[in-house]
């Protein structure tokens, strides 16, 4: 999935009604029609068809012909599209983020710790703190851009899950960056992650120890 595809999917699923339609299709034991979904969700059938069209364009649902046993055009039913590896990964990440978010106050601490362990599993980076972080995040698909003491993360491979549970996903990324900085600069540099300062943009700030807290 490209960053553009990811952004389009996130925007489409920002609609609570559209998520309800998708969840109902996924939960159905047999592929439902738009009319059946409308009755189940207490929505107008035209509204349901609109959401189904949007989900179909994103390859999240697909049409299938129903068997009626009667002559004439077969009814149109909908089923969840077969997931590719990227989509399956995204759903797993979202499910894990939701589960961890349910732990409440511990979620941020545990997520940051998970990010630090992730950094320890990566190759030890070279260069200064900004170069090391930028190179690591480049390999992971964040499209970083170094600008002064900031690293602008212009693409997030986990944007959908991060937008729903930033206290989990963004804290993982924060812990990841903090541990990379420790590996190359010890405790001389502080790290701060500002998620979603603009749509599709997060910013890491790296500064000498104590300077970030003084701002």
pLDDT in tens, 5-64: 555 566 667 788 898 999 999 999 999 999 999 999 999 999 999 999 999 988 889 998
Between 123 and 78, whose confidence is greater? 78
pLDDT of 2 strictly over 60: no
Given 3-state DSSP classes, what are the helix, strand and coil percentages for the chain, each rounded to the nearest 5? 55, 15, 30
Q: Are residues 149 and 197 in the same domain?
A: yes
Predicted pLDDT of residue 9: 63
Provide long-range contacts, Cβ within 8 A and 24+ apart, for 43-49. 43/17, 47/17, 48/21
- Residue whose pair of structure tokens reads 């029609």 in the numeric block: 33
**pLDDT tens by residue, 144-164:** 999 999 999 999 988 888 888
Tokens found for residue 60: 């999240």
Are 29 and 107 part of one and the same domain?
no
Q: Are residues 179 and 158 in the same domain?
A: yes
Alpha-helical (H) ranges within 13-155 are 16-27, 34-41, 45-57, 85-101, 106-121, 129-139
| 50 and 128 share one domain | no
Q: Kindly state whether residues 64 and 160 are assigned to the same domain.
A: no
What domain range is 13 assigned to? 3-82
């Amino acid at each position: 999935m490209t960053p553009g595809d990811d952004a389009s999917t996130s925007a489409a699923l920002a609609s609570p009604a559209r998520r309800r339609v998708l969840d109902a299709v996924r939960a159905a034991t047999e592929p439902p029609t738009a009319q059946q979904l409308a009755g189940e969700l207490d929505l107008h059938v035209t509204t349901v068809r609109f959401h189904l069209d949007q989900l179909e364009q994103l390859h999240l649902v697909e049409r299938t012909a129903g068997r009626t046993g009667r002559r004439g055009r077969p009814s149109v039913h909908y089923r969840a599209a077969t997931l590719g590896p990227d989509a399956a990964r995204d759903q797993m990440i979202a499910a894990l983020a939701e589960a961890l978010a349910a732990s409440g106050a511990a979620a941020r601490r545990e997520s940051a710790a998970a990010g630090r362990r992730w950094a320890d599993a990566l190759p030890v980076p070279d260069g200064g703190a900004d170069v090391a972080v930028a190179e690591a995040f480049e390999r992971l698909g964040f499209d970083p851009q170094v600008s002064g003491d900031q690293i602008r993360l212009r693409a997030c491979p986990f944007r959908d899950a991060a937008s729903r549970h930033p206290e989990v996903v963004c804290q993982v990324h924060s812990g990841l960056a903090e541990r990379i900085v420790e590996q190359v600069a010890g405790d001389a540099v502080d790290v701060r992650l500002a998620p979603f300062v603009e749509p599709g943009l997060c910013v890491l700030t790296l500064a000498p120890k104590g300077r970030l807290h003084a701002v």
